[in-house]
């Protein structure tokens, strides 16, 4: 009994803070080259690995099969920028070792750098099933039209790459979950402990920890006017889960698959990636704002709200939502898009399943308030 508890108390993780430097001036950091993608290399002195390993501090080896949450962020600095902004893309990439797990670019966020001599922090996260021996890395792409000096900032608070195991297991993303663990009850002196009671306290607990409820929905397509007054929840095209996370409509007129039904009360790790693309020519040297928000049921007040800007016609900007939220069984959780100005028009941009995603992973009952 004690060995599994020790294992679950400290599962594999990695934390990398601060990149290596190959650009000395005008601002130290890891150089970005226009039209190219770099795999970010981290300073081994500032890297903490538990069970993970790396030979080059660019690629990090998954220590065992399981569900992991990965987060990559990079602060990009430039001393030159086009009037309408240059795009920078952040990716989480995986090289699967067995052919049974995920492979390739699994999550992407795009943003526009619009201020010279300043920092633009771009973030991307994913919760996925990885196989032992697979390699994960964070990558940055810089627009081919960019001029001047560009770099990934080397500070420990600027750029980081993190991963931690949520649950072990040799199944896959959709392997059926047993659901939440049974409630732990105190035993009293002299109490007869049945096999069922013992299993609830041990075997059933372990099975629940090994395969918690989770779902990821991907891919949306919309085209809507700016300042939408209603019905602006995105509709998802595909869902992959291991429990009863049913894709449903929020309500009449909202469209199909605009929400996911939560199957159990409890705390959930939330990750949402979404993009906005302006279809109207923006005014020179101006950003047009948009926001992506997470809602419960038909509530107009968001649970989480993130805001961004878009300065170039026909180019996307992306946002990441990553948080822990308490949901109740039956909640219809939905993501909504809002682009500003009544004369603008927006769409979802690229829709290959990486640029628009929403995932929930059950973490336990907890006592965290709404």
Please compute Rg for the chain using Cα positions: 22
CATH number, domain containing residue 87:
2.60.120.40
Helix (H, G, I), strand (E, B) or coil at 100: coil
Helices (H) and strands (E) counted in the chain, each on its own, are 3, 24
Q: Which domain holds residue 10?
A: 2-168
Residues 244 and 322 in one domain: yes
Helix (H, G, I), strand (E, B) or coil at 178: coil
Decide if 220 is inside a domain. yes
Dist. CA 160–CA 89, nearest whole Å: 15
Residues 267 and 336 in one domain: yes
Q: What is the pLDDT of residue 370?
A: 44
Final residue of a domain: which of 150, 168, 186?
A: 168
pLDDT string in tens for the chain (370-residue length)? 677 778 778 899 999 999 999 998 888 999 999 999 999 999 999 999 999 999 999 999 999 999 999 999 999 999 887 666 678 999 999 999 887 778 899 999 999 887 888 899 999 999 999 999 999 999 999 998 888 999 999 999 999 999 999 999 878 888 999 999 888 778 788 888 888 888 777 888 888 888 999 999 999 999 999 999 899 999 999 999 999 999 999 999 999 999 999 999 999 999 999 999 888 766 665 678 899 999 999 999 999 999 988 767 777 899 999 999 999 999 999 999 999 888 889 999 887 778 999 999 999 986 544 4
Residues 161 and 218 in one domain: no
Q: What is the pLDDT of residue 167?
A: 92
Dist. CA 217–CA 272, nearest whole Å: 9
Residues 6+ apart with CB under 8 A from 351: 219, 220, 221, 237
Q: What is the pLDDT of residue 369?
A: 47
Q: What is the pLDDT of residue 282?
A: 64
Residues 125 and 242 in one domain: no
Helix (H, G, I), strand (E, B) or coil at 195: helix
Residues 23 and 159 in one domain: yes
Decide if 204 is inside a domain. no
Decide if 95 is inside a domain. yes
Q: Six-digit token pair at 336?
A: 């909504």
Separation of first and last alpha carbons in the chain: 34
Count of domains for the chain: 2
């Amino acid at each position: 009994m004690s060995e599994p508890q020790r294992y679950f108390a400290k599962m594999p993780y990695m934390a990398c803070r601060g990149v290596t430097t190959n650009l000395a001036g005008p601002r130290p950091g890891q150089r970005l080259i226009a039209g190219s993608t770099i795999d970010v290399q981290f300073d081994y002195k500032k890297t903490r690995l538990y069970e993970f390993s790396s030979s080059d501090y660019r690629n990090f080896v998954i220590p065992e099969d399981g569900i992991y949450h990965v987060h990559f962020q990079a602060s990009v600095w430039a001393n030159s920028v086009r009037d309408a902004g240059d795009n920078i893309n952040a990716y989480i990439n995986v090289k699967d070792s067995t052919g049974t797990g995920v492979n390739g670019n699994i999550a992407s966020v795009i943003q526009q750098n619009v201020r010279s001599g300043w920092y633009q922090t771009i973030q991307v996260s994913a919760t996925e099933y990885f196989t032992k021996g697979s390699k994960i890395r964070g990558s940055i792409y810089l627009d081919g039209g960019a001029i001047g000096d560009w770099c990934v900032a080397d500070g420990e608070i600027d750029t980081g790459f993190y991963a931690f195991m949520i649950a072990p297991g040799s199944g896959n993303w959709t392997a059926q979950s047993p659901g939440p663990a049974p409630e732990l009850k105190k035993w009293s002196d002299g109490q007869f402990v049945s096999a069922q009671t013992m299993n609830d306290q041990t075997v059933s607990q372990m099975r629940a920890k090994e395969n918690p409820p989770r779902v990821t929905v991907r891919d949306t397509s919309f085209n809507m006017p700016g300042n939408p007054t209603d019905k602006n929840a995105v509709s998802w095209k595909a869902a992959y889960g291991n429990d009863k996370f049913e894709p449903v409509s929020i309500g009449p007129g909202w469209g199909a698959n605009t929400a996911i039904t939560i199957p159990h009360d409890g705390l959930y790790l939330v990750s949402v990636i979404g993009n906005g693309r302006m279809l109207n020519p923006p005014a020179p040297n101006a950003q047009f704002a948009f926001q992506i928000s997470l809602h419960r049921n038909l509530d107009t007040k968001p649970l989480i709200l993130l805001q961004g800007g878009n300065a170039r016609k026909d180019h996307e900007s992306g946002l990441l939502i990553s948080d822990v939220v308490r949901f109740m069984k039956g909640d219809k959780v939905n993501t909504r898009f809002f682009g500003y100005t009544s004369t603008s028009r927006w769409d979802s941009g690229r829709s290959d399943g990486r640029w628009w995603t929403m995932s929930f992973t059950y973490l336990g009952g907890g006592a965290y308030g709404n």
